[in-house]
Amino acid sequence: MTTTQDSGPATVAARPALVTQALALRLVSVFGASTSFYLLLSVVPHYASAQGRGGGGAAGLATGALMLATVAGEVGTPALIRRWGHRAVLCAGLVLMGLPALALGFSRGLGWIVVVCALRGLGFAFTLVAGGALTAHLIPAERRGEGLAVVGLVTGVPSLLALPLGVWLAGQVGYGVVFAAGGVAALAVIPTLWGLPGRVGAEGRAIDLPEAFRTGGLLRPAVVFAVTALAAGIVVTFLPLAVPASATGLVAAALFVQPAAATAARWLAGRYGDRHGSGGLVLPGLLLSAAGTVLMALTGSAVWVIVAVGVFGAGFGIAQNATLTLMYARVSPAGYGTVGALWNFAYDAGMGAGALAFGRLAGGTGYPWAFALTGVAMLGALLPALRDRRVRADQS
């Protein structure tokens, strides 16, 4: 594997401009894809289960098809990039997110909904991996951490606003309007792609996904991030069930504080990492994430729940930025697509595994103990985190 700079401190002098015209255009497509994804994320499962058409099982199939297709697409996208180029694969992703969304209202048959969700999940994977590699190329290496934080901010706004907006619109004006809005959000930004390069990052040796899984310098940060993502999946799925049923306002506040803290921490971690190196932030991100998860055991206290999700959100945001920045720094530009695939695989697989395992654990222990035990178990990721620090120290 070709190794470049290990996200060490950047030279302060002659810092290049961060947001170029090409990156600004890329951020438009980031916003469109994220808005399309989050507008429909909670609406489609509700649509699938409405009017007695399968209930919770139908909702689970809709979300499951979306996420399974996303993970499968992330694994296969690097090969498509090598064959067709970044812009073409990104364009295909936006089309697959947009057109099936417009077609959702044609039928309430469960099979139709599952197929649409699978196509959208595949399209979302294309936008994540091909778009992520393109973005990494457009950000100056000296400001990669800060640039990725800007991308995280553009992605985070739809997660804060479009998710509840989709549910509200469905209740006020019907599903069809939400489906149309989700489709248009993805399709409308396609013209901006023609201001982007068709293929980037050819310099250096390419690395495929199997090799990335065998490369410790990439796998260790990915494992640490997967563990923090595991807890993120637990928070959004089970925290609303763990707090008292009367505390609906607390749930809303907690689910706002967590991504807000993550977005702010991701920004600060990016700025710090560009100046002092991102490698030293991986361990603090993990420890804060684990501490926040343990604190969620105090579900009877509104104050401690807010503190817990704030601490967890900060750790998760730091881990997001530090691990991705570090992984990009350890490959040549030809490997950016594979790094994006591995990192997003860790994200989605971690969230899915966390939700599945926690549900079984909480059934036997109750939610407070399940949160506490999960937080302690997350410390198992100290092994790859500390190993990575030792390897970097030996190489410096």
**pLDDT tens column, 212-266:** 999 999 999 999 999 999 998 888 778 877 887 667 688 878 888 888 899 899 9
Share of the chain above pLDDT 90, in %: 45
Q: Residue 394: what pLDDT?
A: 60
Domain co-membership, 150 together with 256: no
**pLDDT recorded at residue 6:** 57
Under the banding of pLDDT at 50, 70 and 90, the label for residue 11 is very low
Query: Looking at the structure, do residues 142 and 206 belong to the same domain, yes or no?
Result: no
Average pLDDT over every residue of 124-135: 92
Domain residue limits at 227: 202-396
Query: Do 280 and 364 lie in a common domain?
Result: yes
- Of 157, 176, 200, the position where a domain reaches its end is 200
Nearest to 190 by CA among 19, 32, 23, 24: 32
220 contacts 384 by C-beta, under 8 angstroms: yes
Whether residues 156 and 261 share a domain: the answer is no
pLDDT single digits (tens) 29-48: 999 999 999 899 878 888 88
Using one digit for the tens of pLDDT, what is the confidence trace for 64-92?
A: 788 889 989 988 898 898 889 999 999 99
Q: What is the DSSP letter of 277?
A: -
Q: Are residues 177 and 208 in the same domain?
A: no
* Structure confidence at residue 349 as a pLDDT band (50, 70, 90): confident
Whether 160 and 185 map to the same domain: the answer is yes
Task: Give me 127's structure tokens.
Answer: 């936008």
In this structure, the answer to whether residues 278 and 378 fall within a common structural domain is yes
CA dihedral sign, ordered 55, 61, 67, 69? negative
- Same domain, yes or no: 47 and 126: yes
Q: What percent of the chain has pLDDT over 70?
A: 91
Of 200, 233, 258, the one marking the end of a domain is 200
Task: Decide if 254 is inside a domain.
Answer: yes
Q: Give the domain CATH number at 261.
A: 1.20.1250.20
Can you give the pLDDT at residue 57?
64
Region 124-128: mean pLDDT is 94
Residue whose tokens read 């990915």: 222
Give the count of domains, the chain: 2
Q: How far apart are CA 251 and CA 241, in angstroms?
A: 9
Q: Which residue do the tokens 């506040």 mark?
A: 253
Is there a domain that residue 66 lies in?
yes
Where does residue 106 rank: exposed (0-12), middle (13-18), buried (19+ CB within 10 A)?
Answer: exposed
Averaged pLDDT of the chain: 87
**348 and 264 within one domain:** yes
Q: What is the pTM of this model?
A: 0.81
What number is the average pLDDT over the span 154-176? 86
Which pLDDT does position 293 carry in this prediction? 96
Q: Is residue 10 assigned to a domain?
A: no
Asked if 208 and 84 sit in the same domain, the reply is: no
pLDDT higher than threshold 70 for residue 14: no
User: Which pLDDT score is estimated for 12?
Assistant: 46
Which tens digits make up the pLDDT trace of 160-169? 788 788 888 8
Residues in the chain: 396
Select from 155, 182, 200 the last residue of a domain: 200
Q: Which of 164, 139, 117 is nearest to 27 (CA)?
A: 139
Same domain, 192 and 248: no
Could you give the angle at which helices 282-295 and 302-329 cross, rounded to 10 degrees?
A: 160
Closest by Cα among 275, 324, 348, 342 to 135: 324
Segment 43-55, tens digit of pLDDT: 888 888 774 455 4
Q: Is-contact 146 19, C-beta < 8 A? A: no
Could you tell me which of 119, 356, 335 has the C-alpha nearest to residue 210?
A: 335
Buried b (16+ CB within 10 A) or exposed e, 18-53: eeeebbebbbbbbbbbbbbbbbbbbbbbbbbbeeee
Residue 241: other Cβ atoms inside 10 A: 12
